[in-house]
Amino acid sequence: MRKVMDGAVYDTSCAVIDKKFTSGVPGDPYGYEETLYITKDGLYFIYTNGGYKSKYPRESITPIDKADVRAWVLSR
């Protein structure tokens, strides 16, 4: 998935996965995944996607400040 926001490009095919959290099993309508990526420019973003009854029924990209990454990881 690729998304441009405020002039920054967030692309899951070019960025590196830092951490990944999954809930459920493949095919679970309530299951979802949250994946933390870092771009070559040092920007962080979270890719989310899940089953149609999950909290992430559509794939999305959300930028996250470097200062907030630790708190996000610890909350998983």
Tens digit of each residue's pLDDT (9 = 90 or more) over 24-71: 998 999 999 999 999 999 999 999 999 999 999 999 999 999 999 999
Q: What six digits make up the tokens of 30?
A: 């309530």
Residues 52 and 66: their CA atoms lie apart, in Å, by 30
Rounded to an integer, the average pLDDT of 1-8 is: 94
Given this model, what pLDDT does residue 73 score? 94
Given this model, what pLDDT does residue 56 score? 97
Q: For residue 31, what is the DSSP state?
A: -
Q: What's the pTM?
A: 0.92
Given this model, what pLDDT does residue 21 score? 97
Q: For 65, what's the count of Cα atoms within 13 Å in the CB-facing half-sphere?
A: 3
Residues 66 and 76: their CA atoms lie apart, in Å, by 16
Given this model, what pLDDT does residue 37 score? 98
Task: Place 12 in a pLDDT band, splitting at 50, 70 and 90.
Answer: very high
